[in-house]
């Protein structure tokens, strides 16, 4: 899986493919929803803002979106 390592605590935040995030460090992991609520696993704490940032929806930058006709 692809993920992001938190710059302060070193935990790895990854999407699990089911709409949740797997947060892990040193072999200990936990599954959290995108609001940071614990769902399962031995790790009970995470950064809820990092969960929202990694697991939240991705939007196309309007300046790069070629599908919208701006002259209409």
Q: What is the pLDDT of residues 16-72, one digit of tens each?
A: 999 999 999 999 999 999 999 999 999 999 999 999 999 988 776 666 656 655 555
User: Is 2 a member of any domain?
Assistant: yes
User: Is 21 a member of any domain?
Assistant: yes
CA distances from 36 to 3, 8, 17, 28 (A): 16, 17, 16, 16
Question: How many domains would you assign to the chain?
Answer: 1
Domain region containing 18: 1-38
d(C-alpha 56, C-alpha 47), whole Å = 14
Q: pLDDT at position 20, please?
A: 95
């Amino acid at each position: 899986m692809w993920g992001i390592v938190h710059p302060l605590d070193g935990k790895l935040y990854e999407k699990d493919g089911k709409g949740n995030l797997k947060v892990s460090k040193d072999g200990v992991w936990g599954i959290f929803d995108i609001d940071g609520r614990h769902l399962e696993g031995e790790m009970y704490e995470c950064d809820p803002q990092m969960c929202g940032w990694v697991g939240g929806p991705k939007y196309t930058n309007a300046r790069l979106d070629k599908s919208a006709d701006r002259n209409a």
